[in-house]
Amino acid sequence: MPSLMIKMTHKLSLPLASLLVGVCLLLVSCEDRSNTLGVGMMPDYTQFKSFDTTFDLSYRTISADMKDSGSSASGTQYNRMYVSSNYGYIGRIPNQEFGGIETEYLTQMYCPEGFLFRDQPVDNRIDSAFLTLYYDGYSGYGKDLVEVTAYRLDRPLPGNSKYSLESISDYYTRGVSKELGRASFMAVTGTPHEGKGTWVRVPIAREIGQDFYDKSVAGSEVFRSQAAFDQYFPGVYFRVSAGTGSVIRVVRTALTFCYRKEQMLKRRSTGKVDSLAYVPAIQELSHTNEVPQLSRFANMGLSELMAPGSDYAYVKSPAGVLAEITIPTREIKKKLDEAPKGSVRVLASAPFSISGENRQLSEYQLVYPTSLVLMPRDSVAHFFESELTDADSPFTTYVSRQAIQGSSTYTFGNISALISKHIEKKPDEDLRVVVVPVQYVAPEQQQSGAVSPSSVTNLVLPSTLKIKMDGKNNKLRVYINERKEGSPF
């Protein structure tokens, strides 16, 4: 029986084998046919080859003020810069390599219509008055003593500009404008105040606070509107009058009036509220978004940074210098136009990055910018004035953060769209872009599910970057696709 079964299996395997061979031949035939009717039959214009080539970039250092403000006789330069934040910066930092920076600001106080004190002071007396600078951080060396002096403005500030000032002569007259007070402080030892950051208090005359109180009780016309209040108290100019070492970032500036008020307290022994006491209290008028605040930035040594023939390009903020880069778009266009007859070349990719020169941080060393934005030079003013973001102009504006926190390397990604757009609009002119230090706030997912917009503003925090014009920075590698002419449309 076993032998019979073997013979039967053998007889059945012959036709099965023949069938399998036929199927295999059919499959091979189908595969060959697929090759013929598939890729090989696709139109020539859908097939392309890629290659890369390198172009030389050129750098130079230019003024951060697109109007190129002039230097004073002392070599100090006051540039204009669009400042959209309501922070005030006050201080002075020396720097041997990049030149020193000094920042100051002019501000007004917001006054609610019909302003009144919330309490009645004991004996209707204001005990003391201050100008309080609440700050949340500083740059530079915080253990050096800096003196800040406050002056009363001669007239209110304009409400229609956010550009920093080159001259303050319209609002302050040296030797004439009234000094309100002065205070010395070390940034590292400011007075912590719960809920309000760290403060520096500039004492001013008690009589100023008393006059505010007396007028509010009397229902004076000076509190009828903001315009009336601005005529009564036009604002304050804060400047560094002595010392150097740090710049503090003031998140809120306030007029602070201190007094005592009557208050019933709980007696510890009985737990009953039956003890009358005099307790300290304050009333403040602060700067808010409703009223103007203007900054002024003094830079020393900018002419040395912009001197021709240097092997470096420099970036210095605030309102210092920028690195301008010329991209040879005419050469790139020429390379694209050199496609063989019957073929077309298109720019596929142009990755771009910048590496600054690392340096040893010292006590007065300025930090690297946390973010840079790359854009055409002629777009800078409109971009910041209109308070745009990279999302508003994705093909012309590229934001890069530090590749690693604290590093001096920045990667902007693929800038081929910017190059292609420029070639299309200005084929006979090379593209000039600038690298601008910015404060970048990325979009965030909110609890509600909505996404907050990004924010790109000029960086006011003192910072610097030194870019060596070597092979790593002055070469741009681009990738080009070449295909046959033709279109399905």
pLDDT at residue 265, rounded to an integer? 78
| Buried-state track 6-36, b at ≥16 Cβ within 10 A, e below 16 | eeeeeeeeeeeeeeeeeeeeeeeeeeeeeee
pLDDT at residue 442, rounded to an integer? 86
Q: How far apart are CA 418 and CA 410, in angstroms?
A: 18
Q: How far apart are CA 66 and CA 241, in angstroms?
A: 29
Size (the chain), residues: 489
Q: Which structure tokens are listed for 238?
A: 């804060």
Q: Across-strand partners of 276? A: 264
Q: What is the dihedral of CA 44, 350, 375, 465, to 10 degrees?
A: 180
Domain ranges in the chain are 49-61+309-484, 76-298
pLDDT at residue 267, rounded to an integer? 67
* Residuewise pLDDT in 10s, the chain (489 residues): 343 333 333 344 444 444 444 444 344 444 443 344 444 555 555 667 999 999 999 999 999 997 755 544 457 899 999 998 889 999 999 988 899 999 999 999 999 999 999 999 999 999 999 999 999 989 989 999 999 999 999 999 998 889 999 999 999 999 999 999 999 999 987 765 555 568 999 999 999 999 999 999 999 999 999 999 999 999 999 999 999 999 999 999 999 999 999 987 776 666 676 667 889 999 999 999 999 999 999 999 999 999 988 999 999 999 999 999 999 999 999 999 999 999 999 999 999 999 999 877 666 778 899 999 999 999 999 999 999 998 898 889 999 988 888 889 999 999 999 999 999 999 999 999 999 999 999 888 666 767 777 899 999 999 999 999 888 899 999 999 999 886 654
- What distances in angstroms separate CA 280 from CA 130, 193, 212, 213, 454, one per listed residue? 15, 15, 18, 16, 43
pLDDT at residue 300, rounded to an integer? 95
Q: Which structure tokens are listed for 23?
A: 């199927």
Which of 230, 232, 241, 221 has its CA nearest to residue 158? Answer: 230
Q: Could you tell me where the beta strands, DSSP code E, fall in 79-235? A: 88-93, 101-107, 128-140, 146-152, 179-185, 191-193, 197-204
Q: Across-strand partners of 129? A: 204, 257
Q: How far apart are CA 240 and CA 226, in angstroms?
A: 28
Contact 236, 88 (CB under 8 A): no
Phi, psi angle pair for 149, to nearest 5°: -120, 140
Contact 100, 371 (CB under 8 A): no
Pairing assessment for the beta strands 273-286 and 371-376 based on DSSP bridges: unpaired
pLDDT at residue 410, rounded to an integer? 96
pLDDT at residue 35, rounded to an integer? 42
pLDDT at residue 383, rounded to an integer? 95
Q: Could you say which DSSP state residue 122 is in?
A: G
Q: H or E stretch including 275? A: strand 273-286
Alpha-carbon 231 to chain mean position: 34
Contact 469, 311 (CB under 8 A): yes
Residue 162 DSSP SS3: coil
Pairing assessment for the beta strands 455-458 and 371-376 based on DSSP bridges: unpaired
Q: How far apart are CA 473 and CA 102, in angstroms?
A: 31
Angle at 339 between CA 335 and CA 340, to 5 degrees: 145
Phi, psi angle pair for 138, to nearest 5°: -150, 165
| Buried-state track 319-355, b at ≥16 Cβ within 10 A, e below 16 | bbbbbbbebbbeebbebbeebeeeebbebbebebebb
| Buried-state track 45-77, b at ≥16 Cβ within 10 A, e below 16 | eeebeeeeeebebebbbbbbbbeebebeeeeeb
- What distances in angstroms separate CA 341 from CA 44, 47, 213, 482, one per listed residue? 14, 16, 86, 11
Predicted model pTM: 0.83
pLDDT at residue 328, rounded to an integer? 98
Domain covering 49-61+309-484: architecture: Sandwich (2.60)
Interaxial angle between packed helices 416-425 and 329-337, expressed in degrees from 0 to 180 and rounded to the nearest 10: 80
Q: How far apart are CA 438 and CA 457, in angstroms?
A: 5
Q: How far apart are CA 5 and CA 93, in angstroms?
A: 102
Check the CA dihedral 307-308-310-316 and report its sign.
positive
Q: Which structure tokens are listed for 429?
A: 């002119």
**Residue tagged 């809920």 (tokens):** 195
pLDDT at residue 164, rounded to an integer? 95
